[in-house]
Structure formats: C-alpha cells, structure tokens
Amino acid sequence: MTALEPGAAGAYWATLGAHIDVTFGRPRAILVMSAHSLTREPVLLGAAQHDTVHDFGGFPQALYALRYDAPGAPALAAEVANTLQAAQQPVHLLPDGGLDHGIWIPLRAMYPNADIPVLPLAWPPMWSPERLFALGQALAPLRRQGVLIVGSGAITHNLRLWAGGRGAVDQAEHPECAAFRQWFEDRCTASEWPRLFDYRRQAPHAVHMHPTDEHLLPFYLAAGAGVEGDDLRQAPGVRTHASVTWGHLGMDVYAFGAQAASLRQT
C-alpha cells in the first residue's frame, strides 16, 4: 500500500533516487533481488522489456491501475551470468521478464520515469544467510560498473499478526518488533556478521518476526554486494531509514559500502 499511501518509508524512497544520482552518479542499470521472485537456483530475468506484475489480491482497484513498465537489461544479464559463473555460483539466464511488487513499488518511488533498465535476479530462499551473502559478494564488481544493487524485502514480516484485524497504520510498535529491529541495527553497526548470519537463533523474537524468512534474506544479498575487501569486520551496514507501520511491519532501509552513511535520512 505504500504505492498509494507512501507514509514515512515511501517519502524516503522518493528522495533516495535523486540522492543516489548525486552521490554515486545515475545508475547504468538496477539489479534487484526481491522476496517475491524465488527459484531453486539463481535466475536472471533478461527480457528487453518488463511488464508490471500485480502479484497480490484483495487491495483497492487503484493499486492495480498503477504501472511501472521499465526496460530490461539483456546485455547486462549476460554479463552478470558470466560474473556469477566465474565466481562458481550457479546461475540460469532466461529471456523472460516481469517486475513483482517488491520491485516496482519502491522503484516507482525512486525513479518514477521508469527509464533505467532493471534486471531481476530470482534467488533460492532455502539457502542460508551466509550462502546468500556469498552470492551477493560475487555481484560486488557490478557496483564499479554503475549498477545499483537492491535487495527488496522487509526487516520484519509476520502477516499473521493481522489475523485479529489490522487496527491503525500508526499504532504503537510491538515491543518484539522494536527489539528485533534494534538488534539488527546494533549488529550491523558493529559488523558482527557471524551473529547476523545466525540471526534466527541469536536475534530476539526472530521467528516471531519472520515465521518464514524470505522477506529478510534479500538483506544478506545486498549486504554481500556492498562488501569492500575480505575483512567482514570492516563491512558495516548503515540503517539509512527506520519506520514501522501497523505496529509490526518494519520498513527499515540499509545501505552498504564505503559511502553508505551518505544515504542516511537526516
């Protein structure tokens, strides 16, 4: 619903594209790994043109009228496939396209003209956080080639908490949600990657906040892509935006790399 009711997170996304352009230069392309494009092994969707996929039901009709038909990046898809193969990562390249809502909704806020090529990378949700981080590391060279790498999910995601009714979008945050989000920020600031990889055992209320963790795992893909060098102790994650809707749906944004702090919301 951030596409219709932006809230704090949508307002931040709306400033983020311009901020990235000024800080890093306008992206040549955007590679996105979404919690809603999942496969048994990594798959690049290398279509020349993408359609908007409305992969949800029961929402206002106005949401289904929105479109973000961005160009694809078939040449980049071939480059990325070669990069992953060189890193001994399994990868498949398909001429198919389509942007799920985890891709087009934030990108529509960041780059509303839909004029930057988009390359979705579907990924395996059964892989461990550490293995997904390694997949992200294999993508890191693309950053130096002008490719913006995005992991799209949610820092907390337990839709079962709506079973008794949604209540108010601005209701007070659940204590379990606040504790989990704070643990993540603290571990990221300290570059405590072994603990982050083991978040499901170590983070407070981890299973409660993520009964299934496909919405959190894109964090590790993006984090790996942001690593500079082999020393993970020097690879902090920077929380650039923090907000919560419905009391339990965390909308935090993290950035990685040497200039990540420049994207922090002030």
DSSP string, 82-116: HHHHHTT---EEES---B-HHHHHHHHHHSTT--S
- A 10 A CB-CB count for 146 gives 12
Query: With 90 as the cut, is the pLDDT of residue 241 above it?
Result: yes
Report the predicted TM-score, pTM, of the whole model to 2 decimal places: 0.95
pLDDT given at position 43: 98
The fraction of the chain above a pLDDT of 90, given in percent, is 80
Query: With 80 as the cut, is the pLDDT of residue 207 above it?
Result: yes
pLDDT given at position 229: 67
Query: With 80 as the cut, is the pLDDT of residue 5 above it?
Result: yes
pLDDT given at position 266: 62
Task: Please state the rounded mean pLDDT for residues 140-160.
Answer: 95
pLDDT given at position 119: 98
What CATH topology corresponds to 7-263? Protocatechuate 4,5-dioxygenase; Chain B (3.40.830)
Residue given tokens 């949610």 in the structure block:
154
Q: Can you tell me whether residue 1 is helix, strand or coil?
A: coil
Give the residue with greater pLDDT, 258 vs 95: 95
Q: Can you tell me whether residue 144 is helix, strand or coil?
A: helix
CA 196 to chain CA centroid, Å, is 16
pLDDT given at position 230: 73
Give the residue with greater pLDDT, 94 vs 247: 94
Task: Please state the rounded mean pLDDT for residues 134-159.
Answer: 95
Task: Please state the rounded mean pLDDT for residues 77-98.
Answer: 97
Query: With 70 as the cut, is the pLDDT of residue 226 above it?
Result: yes
Band the pLDDT of 199: cuts 50, 70, 90: very high
Beta bridge pairs of residue 123: 38
Which region, left, alpha or beta, applies to residue 165 given φ > 0 means left and ψ of -120 to 50 means alpha? left
Tell me which residue of 126, 135, 106, 121 sits closest to 11, measured CA to CA: 106
Condensed to tens digits (0 to 9), the pLDDT of residues 15-49 reads 999 999 999 999 999 999 999 999 999 999 999 99
Band the pLDDT of 164: cuts 50, 70, 90: low
Rounded to a whole number of angstroms, the distance between the first and last alpha carbons of the chain is 24
